[in-house]
Structure 1
Amino acid sequence: MNGEQNDGQVSDTYLDNIIKQLEISDGSQATSSVRSVFVRNDAGTFLRKLDERVKYYDNEIEKLCNFQYQSFVKSFHELLQVRKDTTSMKKELEKNNQMMQEAGQSLAKKTASLIKEYHRQSNIQQTIEALSQAFPVFETYRKLQECMEEKKLYPALKLLEQLETKHLVLVKEHRWSELIQHNIAKFRNQIRNESYNELKNFLENVATHADKIGKSAFAQAAARLDIDRRYYMLEEDRKKDQQQQQPEGSADLALINMNITETIDFSPIYKSLHINLFLNCKEEFSKHYQREKQKQAPVIMDVPPKMHESFDAFKKYLQRVTGFFIVEDHVMNTTEGLIDQRFYYELSERATQQLLAVLRRAVSTSYNPELMLDMKIVVVLFCAAIKESGFPVTPLLDVLMELRESYQQLLLAQWGQKFKEILRKDNYIQMVIEDETQYQLLLRQFPLRIEAAERLPYPRSLPYSESVPKVFLEIKDFAAVCAKFAKGLNVSKTEIDDMIRKPSNLLLTKTLKSALVDLTAAESESQLNFSQLVQICINTIHLENSMPYLEDYIVALVHGSTKQIGLRLQGASMLKDIRSLVEDRIHDKLNDKIDQCLDIGN
C-alpha cells in the first residue's frame, strides 16, 4: 500500500516537472516530453494535470484582469485619443513629407549643379596648374629659338639645360613635350655644328695672325739676345713706320710687350670646348680639333713661291711657323684634354722634318755669305722664340752647323778671289814709306816691326811688297767674319775658337797656298821674273813672322783678351812649303839664264 502511494507520488512529481519544462521551454523539447509521458503510461494523469494547470492560469488571468480593469479602460480611452492625435499627426507628416520631397528635389538639383560647378572649378584649377608648368617651358623654348637664330650658343646651352633638367620633367605626361624633346635633339646637333664653325673661324684667325705672333716672339728673343731689329722687322714694316713717322723703337716696344691674347681671341675655342663638354662630345671634339690642326699644319708650313730669293719672305715664313706653334702651346696649356703633349710632339716632329728640308734648301741655294749670315741669325732667333713653346730645336741647331760649313766654303771661295786679285795687282817691289804717319798707319794694319828698317830715314823701304799687309788684313777680316757666325749661338769658347781657327787654317793651307802656287807656277800667265820671285820669297818670310799676330787676334776675338793661350795656325809650315817651291822656281830660272849665256857664248 505504501509502495503504491510512493509510486503515485513519484509519478505526480515527474509530471509536474514535465509541465514546468513545457512552460519554460521554447517548444523544442515538447515532443520528447510527451513521448516520455506515453512511455510511462501516464497520459491520463498528464492530461488531468495539464487541465488543472490551464484552469489555474485562467483563474490567475481573471484575477489579474479584474484587478487592472479600470486602468485598462482608462488606457483604452487614452489610446482612442492617441488614435485621433495620430491621425492628425499622420496628415501633418504627410504634408511635411510632401514639403520635404519638394525641398529635397530642389536641393538635389542644386547639389547636382554644385557638384558640376565644383568639377568645373577643379578642371580650371588643374588647367591653371598645367599652364603654370607649361608656360616656363614655352617661354624657355621661345628664348632657346631666339638664341639659336642669333647663334648665341652659350646662352642656348644653358636654356637647354634648364628645359631638360627643370621644366620638361614636370610636363612629361603631355604629348607636346615629346615634340619639344625631339626638337632639343635637333638643337643639340645644331649647337655642335655651330661650335665646329666657331672652331673653323678660330683656325682661320690663327692662320691670319700667326706671322704677327711669330714676329712678336722674334722681337722678344732679339731683345734677350741683343740682336738687331732688322732680323725680325720686314721691309714693309719699315716703310710703314716711315710713312706714319713713328719714332724708332716704338714699334719694337709694342711687339715686345704684345700679349698673344691681344692678337687672337681664344674665346671661340674655349666656348666650343665647353659646349661639347656639356653635350658629352668632348672626346669627339678633341679628335676633330686635332684632325683640323693636322690639315692646317701643312698649309702653314707650305713654302711661299721664291722664298729663297727674298730675305723678308724667309723671315716671314719662320715667323708664321713660330706663331702657329705658340698658339698651339697656349691652347694646350689653357685647355684640359683638348690636345696633349703627345699630339703636340707629333705635330712638331712633322714640322721639324719639313723645316729641315726648307733650311737645307735655303743653304744649298744661297751663294751670298752675307745673306747666309743673316739667315743664321734669323734661324737662331727662330729657335730662341719657338723653344719657349716646347718645340724641339736641336735638329734645327744641327742645320746651323751645315749652314756654317756652306758659309765657310763660300767665304773661302770669296777670299780665294781676293787673294788672287791682291797677288795679281802687286808689283813685287819693296814698299816705300814716305813719313811717320804712313808708317804708323801701316803698323795698325800690319803690326810686324822690322828694327833695321826703322833705323832708316824717310822715305824708307821695307823688305816686303804691298801684298803682304793686304793679305794679312784679309786673313784678319776672314777670321772676324767667321767669328760673326758664332754670335747668338749657345756654344762654348772652345767651340767658337774651333769655328774660327779651322776655316782660318783652311784659308792659309789651301786657299792662300793655291793662289801662291798658281802665281809662281811656270805656266802662269804672270810669268814672274827673277827679282819678283825673290821678292815673293821675302814676302813669305814676313808673312810667316806675322802668324803670331794673327793667332793673338783670333784669341782676342774668342776671349776678348790676348792673355789666353790658343792653338797655333798652320800657316807657317805652308809658307815654308811655298818658299821652297819658289826657291825651286828661282833655281830653274837661274839654270835657264845660265843655259842662255852658254848658248850665246857658243
Structure 2
Amino acid sequence: MGLITLLRGIHETVEGYRRYFNQIVGFFVVEDHILHATRGLVTRAFTDELWNMALSKIIAVLRTLSSYCDDPDLVLELKNLIVIFADTLQGYGFPVNRLFDLLFEIRDQYNETLLKKWALVFREIFELDNYSPIPVETEEEYKQVISRFPFHDAEIEKQDFPKKLPMSQSVPQIYTQVKEFIYASLKFSESLHRSSTEIDDMLRKSTNLLLTRTLSGCLQNLIKKPHIGLTELVQIIINTTHLEQACRYLEEFITNITNVSPETVHTTRLYGLSTFKDARHAAEGEIYTKLNQKIDEFIQLADYEWGMAESDGRASGYLMDLINFLRSTFQVFTHLPGKVAQTACMSACKHLSTSLMQMLLDTELKQISMGAIQQFNLDVIQCECDDCIQSPAKCWQISTDMLKSISHFGK
C-alpha cells in the first residue's frame, strides 16, 4: 500500500497520475479476482475494509496533489482520470461516492486556475486595445464583428460604409473570452453524473466569479493606470455600457448549453450588470479627477503681475490654452451619456472657479493693482462668455461670489 502515498513528481504530468491510478486499480482488481476465484482466502469484509482504508489515503493524496497544480489543463486531465478510476472500481463493486465528492473540491481548484489564466487574457486584451471606435470598411467586416458580439443599432446599420462602431476592439474580444471561459468551466462538469440544473448552477457561479472578481479587478486596475487618459476613460465608459447590455446574451448562452430555463426558481443570475456599472462609475470618477488635475496644471502656469499698471486688453495666454483644452475635451464628452458629460463639465467649471478664487484670496498676496484686477476680470469674462464651454452641458457659469469678490477688490 506504499504506492498510495507516493507523492514524488506525480503531480507534474498526466502520465504520473495515470501510473498512480493504474497501480491501484491493478491491486484491487487482483483482490477482487482472488475473492471470487478462491474459497476463504480473502473475504468481502476484508476487501471492503482494505478499500475504505485505501480510499481515505487516496483522497488525501489527491487533495494534496491538486492543490499544487496551477495548470487548468492538467487539473482537467486529473479529473478525467479520477472519473475513469472511480467508474472502473465501481464496476467491481467498490463504493466511490467519496471520490465524486472530492471532484467537487477539485472543481473549485480548477475554477481558480481558470480565473488566474483568464486574468492574464483580460490584461493582455486591455493592454493591446487602442481605445478607439472599431472602423468597418465593408459589409463583410461589419458581419464579422457582430458575429462575435451582439451589437444592434438601427441608425448605424443605415449608415454607408466605411463607418465606425461605438465600442473599441476589446469589447468583442472580452465577450468572446467570457464564452470561452464558460466552455472551459463546462468541461469539468462533464461525466460527473450531475443533473442539468446542478451543471447550470455551477456554470453560473463560476461565470459570476469571472465577472465580479477577475474581470472587475482587471477593469479597476486598468482605470487607475497612469497612461490611461481622458479619451481612453471615455471609451472605457462606452465599452462597459455595451458589455453590460450584452449580459443577457450570456444568460441565454448558458441556458442554451444546459437547457435549464432562467425562470427556474433556484437559477442563479449573472452579476455582470453590477461589474460593469461599478467599472463605469470608477471611470467617471477618474475622469473628474484627471480633468481637475489638468486644470491645476494650467493654473500653475498663470503668471499674473499683481502690480501691473494696466491690463493687456485680452485674456491671459494660460487661460486661452486652458479653454482650448476644455474645448477639445468637452467635444470628446459628447459621446458620453448626458448626465456623465454634464457632471464632468460642472465639476470642471466649479474646480476652475474655486482655483481662481483661491488665487485672489492667497494670504501671500499683499496688494493688487487696478491693472491686475482688470486683467483678472478679463479672464473671468472670457470664461463666462466662451461658447465652446457653454454648449456641451449649458453649465459654464463662474460663481457670482467670485465676481463680487473681483468687484470688491476693484473698489
- Using the TM superposition, give the Cα deviation of residue 573 of structure 1 relative to its aligned residue in structure 2, in angstroms: 1.0
1:583 is aligned to 2:284: yes
Q: Is the 8 A contact 1:555 1:564 kept in 2?
A: no
Question: What pairs up with 1:158-197 in 2 under 5 angstroms?
Answer: none
Q: Deviations over 1:480-511 (max 9, x none)?
A: 10000011110111211122111110111111
Question: Which of the two has higher C-alpha Rg?
Answer: 1
In 2, distance between residues paired with 1:457 and 1:369? 45
Rate the CA distance shift 1:563–1:498 in 2: closer, same or farther, 3 A: closer
Q: Map 1:39-54 to 2 at 5 A.
A: none
Distance 1:300 1:424, change over 3 A: closer
Distance apart, 1:563 and its partner CA: 8.4
**Aligned equivalents of 1:430, 1:304: Cα separation in 2:** 53
Tell me if 1:434 matches 2:137.
Answer: yes
Q: Name the structure 1 match of 2:308.
A: none
Q: Corresponding residue for 1:540?
A: 240
Match of 2:229 in 1: 529
Match of 1:388 in 2: 91
Measured in 1, the distance between the counterparts of 2:9 and 2:294 equals 61
Q: Aligned-pair RMSD on alpha carbons?
A: 1.9
Deviation digits for residues 289-346 of structure 1 (CA, Å, limit 9, x no counterpart): xxxxxxxxx1453537422223122112212211221222232234333322221111
Could you state the TM-score of these two structures normalised by the residue count of structure 1? 0.48
The unaligned stretches of length 5 or more in structure 1 are 1-297
Relative to structure 1, the CA distance from residue 305 to residue 587 in structure 2 (aligned partners, 3 Å threshold; closer, same or farther) is closer
2:311 corresponds in structure 1 to: none
Instruction: Report the equivalent of 1:511.
Output: 214
> Is the aligned partner of 1:454 residue 2:152?
no
Which structure shows the higher helix fraction?
Answer: 1
State whether structure 2 residue 281 is matched by structure 1 residue 596. Answer: no
Q: Any conservation in 1 of the 2:7–2:65 contact (CA below 8 Å)?
A: no
* Aligned counterpart for 1:371 among listed residues 69, 74, 80: 74
Is contact 1:513–1:578 with CA below 8 Å preserved after alignment? yes
- Quick check: 1:480–1:557 contact (8 Å CA) kept in 2? no
Aligned amino acid, residue 481 of structure 1: A
CA distance in 1, matches of 2:112, 2:97: 23
Which residue pairs with 1:407 in the alignment? 110
Counterpart CA distance in 1 for 2:47 and 2:243 is 57
Q: Does 1:553 align with 2:253?
A: yes
What is the deviation of 1:568? 2.6
Structure 2 partner of 1:348: 51
Cα distance, 1:397 vs. partner? 1.3
Cα 1:593–1:326 change in 2 (3 A) is same
In the alignment, is the contact (CA less than 8 A) between 1:430 and 1:461 conserved in 2? yes
Deviations 1:552-597 (A, max 9, x none): 11112222x8887654310111111111111111111222233334
Contact preservation (8 Å) 2:7, 2:61: no
Give the Cα–Cα distance (whole angstroms) in 1 for the partners of residues 170 and 131 of structure 2: 8
Q: Which residue of 2 aligns with 1:570?
A: 271
Q: Distance in 2 between matches of 1:329 and 1:449?
A: 63
TM-superposition CA deviations, 1:128-161 (whole Å, max 9, x none)? xxxxxxxxxxxxxxxxxxxxxxxxxxxxxxxxxx
The alpha-carbon distance between structure 1 residues 463 and 313, as it changes in their structure 2 partners (threshold 3 A), is same
The residue number in structure 1 matching 2:388 is none
- C-alpha distance in 1 between matches for 2:8 and 2:110: 24
Counterpart Cα distance in 2 of 1:513 and 1:557: 25
Give the secondary-structure state (helix, strand or coil) at the position aligned to 2:22. Answer: helix
Q: 1:308 aligns with which of 11, 16, 20?
A: 11
2: CA distance, partners of 1:300 / 1:509? 42
**Offset at 1:418?**
0.9
Q: Which residue identity lines up with residue 555 of structure 1 in the other structure? A: T
Aligned residue number for residue 484 of structure 1 = 187
Kindly state the Cα deviation for residue 361 of structure 1 after the two structures are TM-superposed: 2.5
For 1:458, what is the secondary structure of its paired residue? coil
Q: Secondary structure at the match of 1:424?
A: helix
Structure-2 change in CA distance of 1:382 and 1:529 (3 Å): same
Q: Residue 428 of structure 1 contacts residue 536 of structure 1 at CA under 8 Å; is this kept in 2?
A: yes
- In the alignment, the residues of structure 2 paired with residue 562 and residue 343 of structure 1 have an alpha-carbon distance, to the nearest angstrom, of 48
Describe the shift of the 1:300–1:589 C-alpha distance in structure 2 as closer, same or farther (beyond 3 A): closer
SS at match of 1:461: strand
The Cα offsets for residues 330-378 of structure 1, whole Å up to 9 and x where unpaired, read as 3223433332222111100111122112211220221210111011011
Distance 2:76 2:244 in 1: 30
What is the CA distance between 1:516 and its match in structure 2?
0.8
Is the CA contact (8 Å cut-off) linking 2:13 and 2:74 kept in structure 1? no
Q: Could you tell me whether the CA contact under 8 Å between 2:220 and 2:279 is conserved in 1?
A: yes
Per-residue Cα deviation, 1:40-93 (whole angstroms, up to 9, x for no partner): xxxxxxxxxxxxxxxxxxxxxxxxxxxxxxxxxxxxxxxxxxxxxxxxxxxxxx
Query: In 1, distance between residues paired with 2:261 and 2:104?
Result: 27
Describe how 1:251-330 pairs up with structure 2 within 5 A.
Answer: 298-299=1-2, 301=4, 303=6, 305-330=8-33
Residue type of the alignment partner of 1:301: I
For 2:101, the equivalent position in structure 1 comes to 398
Q: Partner residue of 2:62?
A: 359
Q: How far apart in 1 are the matches of 2:19 and 2:300?
A: 74
Q: Does the 8 A contact of 2:4 with 2:61 survive in 1?
A: no
Partners of 1:312 and 1:594 in 2: how far apart? 63
**Aligned partner of residue 432 in structure 1, secondary structure:** strand
Match of 1:335 in 2: 38
In the alignment, does 2:174 pair up with 1:471? yes
Aligned residue pairs total 301
The answer as to 2:116 corresponding to 1:416 is no
8 Å CA contact retained: 1:325, 1:391:
no
The structure, 1 or 2, with the larger RCO (C-alpha pairs under 8 Å, 6+ apart) is 2
Question: What is the rounded CA distance, in whole Å, between the counterparts of 1:453 and 1:569 in structure 2?
Answer: 29
**What percentage of aligned pairs have identical amino acids?**
37
Q: What residue in structure 1 maps to residue 146 of structure 2?
A: 443
